[in-house]
Amino acid sequence: MEFVKEFATFLHQKGIIKFGDFTLASGKKSSYYVDLRLVPSYPHQFRTMIKYLQNNIAESVGLNSFDSLVSVPTGGLVIASALAIETVKPLIYVRSKPKDYGTSKSVEGQIHEGMKVVMIDDVATTGGSVVNAIKSLKEASITIEDAYVIVNRMEGADKALKELGVKLHSITNIIQITQALHEQKLVDSDTLEKVRNQINK
């Protein structure tokens, strides 16, 4: 949990996580906003995050149990690219919609039928973009059983992925982050309560 505490403090100090009233891309209201696309601007913390993710995957599924990493642009792809370099693993990615020129593929990279992949993304909320990517992978006869995110916002992604036979793993979740900040008196009890209520809706 030491990593989670340090990571939460870093996110807060750099304004990567903000608390207040926000409207998300989905139109949903949120009591906080987390933008992990800022993390690569801090190379030491970014590398620490990648190494922690690498160790997590090594311990839970094993680095030899899959053929390739897969991600979705753009937030997750930056993380997956760094992880692919660290683990010396191939990397493929799934477009949100197939390109309408050239080969009009939705899955980019070297693929073959029956290959097994592990999905990498930055944040999971409802799991929408990852669900669409998983469906594209399955259509291409690619096996996927595990997906990893840095932060789970705990708003339905676990269930959505489980329905497709994929287990969602996360480095940390929004409750752990907010609790770590609350323990260090960086956020008040009211903020923690708002985040809890948002998840329980």
pLDDT at position 106: 85
Q: What total of structural domains would you count in the chain?
A: 1
pLDDT in tens, 67-98: 999 999 888 999 999 999 999 999 999 987 76
Q: What is the dihedral of CA 13, 7, 1, 60, to 10 degrees?
A: 160
Contact yes or no for 48/71 (Cβ under 8 A): no
DSSP 3-state percent helix, strand, coil across the chain (nearest 5): 45, 25, 30
Q: Which residues of the chain have pLDDT under 70?
A: 98-104
Domain of 162 in residue numbering reads as: 2-200
pTM of the predicted structure, to 2 decimals: 0.93
CATH code for the domain of 148? 3.40.50.2020
CA–CA separation, 37 and 101 (whole Å): 28
